[in-house]
Structure 1
C-alpha cells in the first residue's frame, strides 16, 4: 500500500512556502490574508478592486461609450413609463425570467417594476462590457458581480412589492410568513451546526445510498463498496466508479428511483464505488498523487482481485473523472492495459475555458485560500459551498429564499438538495495542487502534469472513451468537456444531455422532458468544433443512461455468474455493509 506523502514538499510546488515565509513581512501578510479569507469565505476583495479600477479608468476615457449608455438609459425610462402593459419580460440573455412569469407579475404596477428591473440590469451589464482597453478577465468579473448585485435588489426579493407574496399572505392570513420564519430559523440552526446538515426526511443508509452492498476494502483515504448483484448473470468486466471528493459519493446512489448505481446493477453489471474519507487537519499533506495511488489504483487492484477479471470498466464524475483520466493516462504510458473502457461524466481535462468558476479562481484567490488552509489544514465545506452558490445565486440563493422564507414553502423534500447540503472538506495540499496545476497553469492539457516524475498525456489511453456533457453546466461547461477530443487518440463516444452539472447526470429513465445527443467517433475521426458537432446530431428523447448501458454491453464479454462479495482475496473480504463508515463522517 502506498504511503501518504510527507511534508517535505509544500503545497505550492512552483514556489516552496519556506521561501515565501522568508520574505519580509511574509508571516504577517499570510496571517492577514487568512483572517480576511475567513470573513469573505475565501473571496479576495483585491481581485474585484483591480477589475473595478481597470473598468472605471477606461470608461472615463470613453466618451462615446458614455453617450451610448446615457441614450440607452433615456430609452429605458421612456419604455417603462410609456410602453406598457403586456410586454414580454425577458432577462439579460433574452430568455424569460422565471421570477416574473406568474400572472400576478403581468398586472399593473408590478409589471412595470419587473420591466424596470430587467432593463436596469441589462443597462448595467452593457456598462460593464464593451469598454475598449479593459482586460477580458476583468470585464467578465465585473459583469458577473453586476449580475449578482442586480439579482440581490430585484423587486421579487421584497415582500411588500412581490405580488406572489402579497397574494399568498392575503389568502393564508400571513401563515406563509410564519412558516417562512420557521424555515429561516431552521436553516440558521443548520449553518451554525446546531442541527445535522442533512435534514429529515432524508438520511444516509435509510433512504439515501440504500443500494445493497458491502465495503470490501478500506485504507486511509477511501472505502471501496461492492454492490450486490440483482441479476442471474453479469458482464465479466466490473465497473469502478470514481466520484468527486467535493461532497459525498452518493449523488450517484440517491433514492432508489434515481440511483445510477442501482440502474447499472439491474442491467447486469458488477459495480464498485469509491467512498472518500472526509479529511481532518492531520490530513493536510494528502496530495493529488495520494488520491491517484490510494484511491483509483488501489480500487482498481482490489476490484480485479475480487472478481478475477483481467480488465474492468472505469467511470469518473466531475473531479473524480479528472483524477481517473490522469490515472488512465499513466497506466497507458506504463503499459498497464487493464482498462476495458473509460467513462467521464461532466469532466474537464483542459481548464483553459472552465466557465464561470474561472472568475473565482486566480492568483490572489488561490493565495488567500492557501493561507486559510495553512491555518486549519483543509478547505472548509462552507467555503466551497459558498463559491458554488455564487455561480447560481439566482436559483440557489434568491429563488430559494423567496420560496422558503416569503412563501413559506420547504424544498428539503428533494434528495438532491439533501446531498448538496452534505458537504466535505478538502485537504490543503491536494486542493492547492488542484487549483494551481490544473486550473491556473492547465498543466494537464499542456503536458506538464507529472506522475512518478514523468508527464502524462491522454494520447496514451487506448481504451474506448464515453464522455458526457450537460447543456446547462456552470461547473464544467459542455464545450470544455468536449475538448477531450483534442487530446486523445481513442474511440470517443460523446453525449450531450439536457440539465445541469448534477441534474443532467442524475437522469433516471422515465423522467419528463429528457433528451440527449449522442455521437460515436473512431480513433481516426477528424476533430469537429462543438457547434458543428451540435448541428450534426439530433436530440433523442429519453435518458442517456439507457444508451450508456448499451454501449457498455457492446464493450463487454459474454455474461458470467456474479462474483461473490470480496470472495477471492482475504485482504478484500467484506468489512461492513454499505454505505460504510467514511460517508458518515462530518
Structure 2
C-alpha cells in the first residue's frame, strides 16, 4: 500500500491502490473527498515529528497508532463513499450488501476477520504434495524426509528448520511454488522439522529444549539414516535464529556436525525491528507473559493479530472492503492460508525468546547468553 498506508510511510501524493477506481480521479466529489482525507492524514501523521520532547521509542509508538487511526478512517471503508461498492450494490440489486452482511455475521460468530478462503486449500489435497515420510518423532518435532528424484544425488543431506510459529509446509506449497519439489529435483536429500503445536502440558519447554529436540536431535537422526558425517542446514525466520544459537553452542564444544548453514529472513540483531518494536516494550511483554502463565502458551491468534496490524491496509482493511462492502468471498491465496494456519508457542521458550532478543538483544553481545553450559 502506498500513500498513507502503515506499510511504507510514503507521501500522501504517492499512488494508493485504495483509490484505484476511476471515480476517485474523474468525479469532483470523490476526488475532493480523497484529497481532503489524504491532506488531513498527512498533517496528522506529521504531528509527532514536530514534538521534540518525545524519545525515539515514544515517537515510533505514536506514529504507529496514528497510522492505524488514519487507515481506519479511509473513506473507502464506508459504503456510501466507496464508488466500487456502490456500483456493485446497484448492479446486483442489493445482493452484494446482503452477501456482505452474511459475511460479517459469519465473522462475528467466529470472532475473527476471514482473510482467505479456507475451503480452497488443504495440506495433502493441493498443498504439501511433495512425497515425504516421517522418519522420527519426539515430544516436540516430527522429522520428514524427502528423497531426491534424480539418479545422481548430493552426498550431504540438507536439514531445514522453519519457524515454530507456523506450519512446516511454507516451503512446500503448491507444486508450482514448492521449494521442496525443486530441491529433490536437484538431487538433494531433504529433511524438514515439523514442530508440534504445543498445549498447556508443554508450558515448561524452553529454548534449550527446542535446541535439543529440534536441530540437535534431527541432525543425529539424519546422520544415522544417511551415513553422512555432516549435514547442511538452512534456518528460516525464527528457525534461523535458533540455528544461530545452536551453531554457537556447537562451535564452543568443537562439534562440527553441520557442514554449511544458510539463513532466510532470520534476525540475529534485533536493534532495528521496525514497527514490531511497538509490541515489544516492557508493558507489552508483561501482558504476554501474564497470558502465557494463565494458559501455558501464547495462542497463535494473538501473534497473527500483531502481524496483521503491521500491514493493516493489506491484511485487515482490504478484506473488510472485499468481504463486507463488496460481498465477495475471501480470496483463495495459498500463502494467506498458510499464514492463518498458525501454531501456539510454549510459555517458557517464548518468554525467553522475547526478552533475550527483542528486549535485550543479547544475541549480538558476547557472553550475554548461556545455553547448554556454553556462553
> What TM-score range do you get, normalising by the shorter chain?
over 0.9
Contact 1:412 1:418 in 2 (8 A): no
Indicate the residue corresponding to 2:46 in structure 1.
126
Correspondent of 1:444 among 344, 363, 366 = 363
The alignment partner of 1:99 has SS state of helix
Contact 1:180 1:404 in 2 (8 A): yes
**What are the Cα deviations for residues 41-91 of structure 1, in whole angstroms up to 9, with x where unaligned?**
xxxxxxxxxxxxxxxxxxxxxxxxxxxxxxxxxxxxxxxxxxxxxxxx943
Correspondent of 2:92 among 134, 149, 172 = 172
Is it true that 1:226 corresponds to 2:145 in the alignment?
yes
Indicate the residue corresponding to 2:314 in structure 1.
395
- The answer for unaligned runs of 5 or more in structure 2 is none
> How many pairs align?
365
Change (3 A) 1:138 1:192: closer
Partners of 1:249 and 1:189 lie apart in 2 by 29
The alignment partner of 2:234 has SS state of strand
Correspondent of 2:297 among 357, 360, 378 = 378
Question: Per-residue deviation at 1:230?
Answer: 1.6
The alignment partner of 2:50 has SS state of coil
5 Å-filtered alignment, 1:136-535, equals: 136-191=56-111, 199-447=118-366, 448-455=368-375
Higher helix share: 2
Change (3 A) 1:289 1:240: same
Partners of 1:352 and 1:310 lie apart in 2 by 37
Partners of 1:345 and 1:162 lie apart in 2 by 40
Partners of 2:97 and 2:173 lie apart in 1 by 32
**What are the Cα deviations for residues 330-380 of structure 1, in whole angstroms up to 9, with x where unaligned?**
212221122221111101101111111011101111111111111110011
- The answer for unaligned runs of 5 or more in structure 1 is 1-88, 456-586
Is it true that 1:108 corresponds to 2:15 in the alignment?
no
The alignment partner of 2:118 has SS state of coil
Indicate the residue corresponding to 1:21 in structure 2.
none
Question: Per-residue deviation at 1:136?
Answer: 0.9
Contact 1:199 1:412 in 2 (8 A): no
Normalising by structure 1, report the TM-score.
0.60
Question: Per-residue deviation at 1:190?
Answer: 4.2
Change (3 A) 1:192 1:318: closer
Partners of 2:263 and 2:106 lie apart in 1 by 37
Contact 1:211 1:262 in 2 (8 A): yes
The alignment partner of 1:129 has SS state of helix
Partners of 1:375 and 1:198 lie apart in 2 by 32
The alignment partner of 1:444 has SS state of helix
Normalising by structure 2, report the TM-score.
0.93
Partners of 1:190 and 1:342 lie apart in 2 by 42
Partners of 2:137 and 2:3 lie apart in 1 by 53
Contact 1:240 1:273 in 2 (8 A): yes
Partners of 2:105 and 2:341 lie apart in 1 by 19
Partners of 1:284 and 1:204 lie apart in 2 by 27
**What are the Cα deviations for residues 161-194 of structure 1, in whole angstroms up to 9, with x where unaligned?**
111111121222222223323333343444479x
Specify which structure has the bigger relative contact order, considering alpha-carbon pairs within 8 angstroms and separated by 6 or more residues: 2
RMSD value, Cα:
1.8
Question: Per-residue deviation at 1:454?
Answer: 2.2
